[in-house]
Chains A and B, each alone.
Chain A
Amino acid sequence: MNINLTMIGQVISFAIFVWFCAKYIWPPIINAMATRETKIADGLAAADRAVRDLELAQDKATDQLRQAKQEAAGIIEQARKQAGVVIEEAKQKAREEGERLLVAAEAEIEREFNRAREELRSKVAQLAIAGAEQILQRSVGEAANSELVDSLAAQL
C-alpha cells in the first residue's frame, strides 16, 4: 500500500480514456438518442394529425354522400316528370295520328264510294243503252220489257 508511479500511470490512462470517450463514444450515442427522441415526437405528432385528418375526411365523405343522394333523388324526380310528359305527348300524338288516319280513311272511303258511283252511273248508262238496244231489236211484250227492266234494276 505504497504511493508510487502506479498513481501517475492511472492519471495518464484516465486522461486517455476520458478523451477517447469524449471524442468517439459520447457524441454519436447522444446524437442517436436525441435523433430517436425527435423521431418519436414527430411520429406521435403525425399520428395526432392523421386522426384529425381522418375525422375531417369522414365528415367530408358524409357531406358528399348526402349531397349525392339529394342529387340522385332530384334526378329521379325530374326523370319521372319527364317520362310523364313524354308519355302524355306520345298519347297525344297517337290520338292525333289516329284521328288523322281516321279522317284520311273516311275521305278515302268517300272517294271510293264516289268513284264507284260514277262508274256505276256510267255503267248504268251503258246498260240502259244496251237494254234499249235489245228492247228495240227484240220488240217483245210488255212482260218481257218489264222483266228486262227488273233484271236491269237488280243489277244496280
Chain B
Amino acid sequence: MATESGADSSGEYIAHHLTNLTFGKLPDGTYALAHSSAEAAQMGFWAVNLDTLGFSVVLGAVFSVLFWLAARSATSGVPGRLQNLVETAVEFVDGNVKSMFTHQNRMIGPLALTIFVWVLLMNVMDLVPVDFLPALADMAGVHHLKVVPSTDVNITMGLALSVFALVLFYSVKQKGLGGFAAELSLHPFGKYGLPINLVLELVTLIAKPISLGLRLFGNLYAGEMIFILIALLPWWAQWVLSVPWAIFHILIIFLQAFIFMVLTVVYMSAAHAVEEH
C-alpha cells in the first residue's frame, strides 16, 4: 500500500495500521466498532479489541487442536510426523522447565508449553506481510485489523498478569500468608528496616509482571512498526529491507517466546522457594 508520497498519507497509513478493531460503547450511547483510535480511546475500559483477541484465541485454538491431535494418538512406538513435531516442542519445554524448576508442581510443564507455543504463534503472525490480512479484511468491509496479537499491550499484559496471579497464588500456597508477608517485609534489611524493605520488595514484585508483559509487547510492536515503515517504500524496493528484517525477526520471534516462558518458570520457581530465616 505504498501510496503517493506525502507526510499526511504516510502518517495516516501508519496510524491506520496501529488502530485496533475495537468494539465498545460510543459516547452517544450506542455500541459499535470504533472508526479511529481516538474513538477507541473514548470507549475507555469497556471495549474489546476484536482483532487481536480474535487472532489470539484462534492461535490458542490452533495450538490446542494441533497438540491435542498428536496427544490423542500418541504412541510410545515410532512417532508420526505430527507427534514428532509436538514431541520436539514438549521435550524442549520440559528440558528447560526441569533445569530451572526443581519443585513439585504438575501445572508448570503445561503452563510453560502453552505460553511458549502460544506466544510463538502470536509472534509468527508478524511474518505475514503487513498489508495482506488487513487488505483482505478491508475488502470484506472491516476497516481496521491488527493481526499480531503480541503487538497489543492488552494481550501481553493479560498473559503477564495471569502469570503474576499464579505467582501470588503459589507464593501464598507454599509459604502461607505470613511467610509471604515476611518475605516481602523482612528483606533485605532485617525487621528494623521493615518499611523500606516493604517498598523495595513490592517494587520488585510489581516490576515482574510489568517487565514481562511490556518486554514482549515492546519487541513485537517495534518489529511490526519497522515492517510498516518498510511497507511505505515503493513496492519494487521493499524486499531489500523487508527480507533481511523478516529473517532477523525470526530470531526475535523465537527469542521473545522463549524469554517469556523462561521468565514465567523462573518467577514460578521463586514463588515455590521457601527461604530459610
A positions within 8 Å CB-CB of B: 1-11, 13-18, 20-22, 24-33, 35-36, 39
Contacts and interface: CB of A to CB of B under 8 A. Distances in A.
Interface string B74-118: 111101000100110011001000000000001101110110001
B67 interface: yes
B193 to A, nearest CB: 34
B155 A17 contact: no
Nearest to A6: B154
Given A28-B74, A30-B90, A30-B94, A10 B63 contact: no
Instruction: Please report whether the interface of chain A is mostly helix, strand, loop or mixed according to DSSP.
Output: helix
B109 A30 contact: yes
Contacts of B71: 24-29
A6 B76 contact: no
B24 interface: yes
B211 interface: no
Interface of B: 18, 20, 22, 24, 37, 40-41, 43-49, 52-53, 56-57, 60, 63-64, 67-68, 70-72, 74-77, 79, 83, 86-87, 90-91, 94, 106-107, 109-111, 113-114, 118, 152-155, 157-159, 161-162, 165
A21 B56 contact: no
Contacts of B79: 32
B106 A3 contact: no
Contacts of B44: 2, 4
Given A6-B52, A9-B48, A39-B76, A29 B70 contact: yes
A4 B43 CA distance: 9
Given A10-B158, A13-B60, A32-B75, A4 B90 contact: no
B94 to A, nearest CB: 7
Contacts of A22: 106-107, 109-111
Question: Which of B43, B70, B76, B77 gathers the greatest number of chain A CB atoms within 10 Å?
Answer: B76
A18 B111 contact: yes
B110 A1 contact: no
Contacts of A28: 71-72, 74
A6 B87 contact: no
A4 B154 contact: yes
B216 to A, nearest CB: 12
A7 B111 contact: no
B97 to A, nearest CB: 11
Contacts of B154: 2-4, 6-7, 10
Contacts of B57: 9, 13
Nearest to B57: A13
Nearest to A22: B110
B90 A11 contact: no
A17 B60 contact: yes
A21 B108 CA distance: 11
A148 B114 CA distance: 157
Contact of A29 (B46, B74, B165): B74
Q: Report which residue of A18, A29, A33, A39 has the largest number of chain B beta carbons within 10 angstroms of its beta carbon.
A: A29
A22 B114 CA distance: 9
Contacts of B110: 18, 21-22, 25-26
Contact of A10 (B46, B56, B86, B165): B56
A47 B57 CA distance: 49
Contacts of B153: 1, 3
A11 B87 contact: no
Contacts of A30: 90, 94, 109
A33 B68 contact: no
Contact of A6 (B83, B86, B114, B155): B155
A11 B166 CA distance: 12
Given A4-B154, A14-B162, A29-B83, 18 more contacts: A1-B18, A4-B22, A4-B24, A4-B43, A4-B44, A5-B48, A10-B158, A13-B53, A17-B60, A21-B64, A21-B67, A22-B109, A24-B72, A26-B71, A29-B67, A29-B86, A32-B76, A32-B79
